[in-house]
Structure 1
């Protein structure tokens, strides 16, 4: 099982060396590392070049977005499997070893993921998902696993069979947010999703937040449109339709939560009343009760995790 690694790079000079070194220091070596610089304006590309490692290839392009960078990277890969790593995240030295062990345990899976942890400047916390209970297993329902706890897959804890990724069309380049979630969803609808429980990747929250663009708090994530298309086109197995619909509901409720936290009560109320993807559950009912409360009270209730199962998409 040969594995290529694709790292999209855009203005992450402060982190890219750490990411690349975490790949090169794997206990089981990778075949190659493809870094696609998506029009960075900092010196990240120069830092990659300075590493002077024969396994590392740098490809530069005009700024076309992270999906374009990933797709270009995949097209340049020579291996049958592709692992992805964001430039501001990194792997533990056993990540590739876990992926290969998982592939041996679940050879029919086309998407392989590992456990991961969140990192801040002062602490680390393991991502929690009770659906990932075995050392090496198959998610019985990917959308259910996404709905109530931390997401089972990130763009730095995943390895995909290249031909299967190409079969679903790669990463959607018309989406500005949630493009990776569309890929995982399409894969999960066609093939088993395998997981290794061991924490093997690190999601750097501090780095992600510092580089995050301004979020549109009014509109839910645009990747919901792709989920709707999956349902309409019959691309979702019947046993997973209900859980996907509920995940979409929770994703809209996440936007409701963000609006409430920002004091945008009118926008939150309009979503609660008019968003067609919403279902009736206690989260929606409780959110209605929060709308007339003073902003300070609303923020306290939300920040103290009184609605902790709002989806974090």
Structure 2
């Protein structure tokens, strides 16, 4: 039985992919499927993924077209009632999915742990909120918390009822190469009444890996797209009467 679909895009992650997949196989929670979308890797990533392929782990190989396209393909193939995302250079604690899967709620946000390549803890980010919070109340501190920590935009540490995505035709924008995950989740926040926040950080986010957007050159960033994302944030907050002077200054 598939309750939770895990989407994992892969592009040239041969150094990390085994640890990522093994951390999913070792979950206490067992009702999952893993959909791996190899985005035209030119290293050994695809062959490493293929050795895990079975009835629970599906591996798709496509031509390189970016992480958003890969995630969209994974979403379209997913069968679970809920979906979550784990990147191929990250890994998760054995109790990660059992904490994140809370089927009485539409959207769950947990924290994450930033680690080095040697698995040394660099920083822990947890949401300021805890428990079930109404969207109107979330919006009161949304912009500052996002600017301070990025937690509302991370693809990590989130679980979504899939019908929220499918019923509203939500997808990742393939034209965005930075903060595409924040743009994706902004579309979802607009459709929610509340969010469950967890005081938990069992997602291990690797800092300083190859192909990371963190080190992206300014020349590769479409700043018009980044402005559009901030405009969407403004509209979202205005719709919830939470775009005051502090938000204007941040904007």
- TM-score, reference length from structure 2: 0.83
In structure 2, the CA distance between the partners of 1:149 and 1:4, relative to structure 1 (3 Å rule), is closer
1:213 is displaced (CA, Å) by: 5.9
Structure 2 equivalent of residue 258 of structure 1: none
Superposed CA deviations along residues 169-217 of structure 1, whole A, max 9, x for unmatched, are: 2111111111000112222232123221111101100325778664207
Aligned positions, number: 240
Structure 2 equivalent of residue 44 of structure 1: 45
Matched, 1:159 2:156: no
CA distance in 2, matches of 1:239, 1:77: 35
Q: RMSD value over aligned CA atoms?
A: 2.8
CA distance in 1, matches of 2:153, 2:195: 10
CA distance in 2, matches of 1:222, 1:244: 20
1:238 pairs with one of 226, 237, 240: 240
Q: Does structure 2 conserve the Cα–Cα contact (< 8 Å) formed by 1:168 and 1:186?
A: no
Superposed CA deviations along residues 52-79 of structure 1, whole A, max 9, x for unmatched, are: 4331101111111111100000000111
In structure 2, the CA distance between the partners of 1:68 and 1:245, relative to structure 1 (3 Å rule), is farther
CA distance in 2, matches of 1:96, 1:27: 8
CA distance in 2, matches of 1:185, 1:82: 16
CA distance in 1, matches of 2:164, 2:79: 15
CA distance in 1, matches of 2:56, 2:30: 10
Structure 1 equivalent of residue 170 of structure 2: 169
Query: Where in structure 2 are there 5+ consecutive unaligned residues?
Result: none
1:90 is displaced (CA, Å) by: 0.9
CA distance in 2, matches of 1:97, 1:149: 24
Q: Computing the radius of gyration over CA atoms, which structure comes out larger, 1 or 2?
A: 1
Structure 2 equivalent of residue 193 of structure 1: 195
Q: Does structure 2 conserve the Cα–Cα contact (< 8 Å) formed by 1:118 and 1:204?
A: yes
Higher helix share: 1
Query: Where in structure 1 are there 5+ consecutive unaligned residues?
Result: 250-313
- TM-score, reference length from structure 1: 0.68
